[in-house]
Structure 1
Amino acid sequence: MAENKVNITDNLETLKEGEVVTDEKTGKKYRVKKNIMPHYSAGGPHGLGDPEDRTLRKIEADVIIPNRMNTQIERVECNESYMGLITCFRTDGAVSGLNTCKPALELFNRCKYEKFHDPAFRTKITDEYIAERSAARASGMTSQQRKLEEYRDWKKNNESK
Structure 2
Amino acid sequence: MPTDAGSTATSSPLLATDDLSGLKEGEIYTDPQTGKQYRVKKTILPHYSSSGPFGLGDPEDRTLRRIEADVIIPNRMNARVERVECNAQYMDLIKCFREEGAVKGLSQCKEVLSLFNACKAEKFHDIDYRERMTEEYLQERSEARRTGMTIKQRKLEQFRQWKEKNEGETK
Matches of 1:85 and 1:145, distance apart in 2 = 33
Deviations 1:34-83 (A, max 9, x none): 42111111000011111111111111111100100000000001111111
Matches of 1:58 and 1:104, distance apart in 2 = 34
Structure 1 residue 8, shift from structure 2 partner = 3.8
Structure 1 residue 102, shift from structure 2 partner = 0.5
Deviations 1:72-120 (A, max 9, x none): 0000011111111111111111111111110101111111111011111
In the comparison of the two structures, how many residue pairs are matched? 154
Q: Determine helix, strand or coil for the equivalent of 2:77.
A: helix
Structure 1 residue 15, shift from structure 2 partner = 3.9
Tell me: CA distance 1:21–1:39, structure 2 relative to 1, closer, same or farther (3 Å): farther
Matches of 1:7 and 1:48, distance apart in 2 = 32
Tell me: CA distance 1:7–1:136, structure 2 relative to 1, closer, same or farther (3 Å): farther
Q: Unpaired segments of 5 or more residues in structure 1?
A: none
- Give the TM-score of the pair, scaled to structure 1: 0.84
Is structure 2 residue 112 aligned with structure 1 residue 112?
Answer: no
Letter in 2 for 1:102: K
Counterpart position of 1:141: 149
Deviations 1:120-155 (A, max 9, x none): 111111111111111111111111111111111111
Is structure 2 residue 167 aligned with structure 1 residue 159?
Answer: yes
Equivalent residue for 1:57, pick from 56, 65, 85: 65
The CA RMSD measured in Å over matched residues stands at 2.4
Structure 1 residue 156, shift from structure 2 partner = 1.1
Percent identical pairs in the alignment equals: 58
Letter in 1 for 2:132: K
Q: Determine helix, strand or coil for the equivalent of 2:83.
A: helix
Matches of 2:32 and 2:122, distance apart in 1 = 53
- Give the TM-score of the pair, scaled to structure 2: 0.80
Letter in 1 for 2:100: D
Counterpart position of 2:90: 82
Q: Unpaired segments of 5 or more residues in structure 2?
A: 3-8, 24-28
Counterpart position of 1:20: 31
Tell me: CA distance 1:21–1:76, structure 2 relative to 1, closer, same or farther (3 Å): farther
Matches of 2:156 and 2:97, distance apart in 1 = 37
Is the CA contact (8 Å cut-off) linking 1:21 and 1:30 kept in structure 2? no
The structure whose Rg is larger is 2
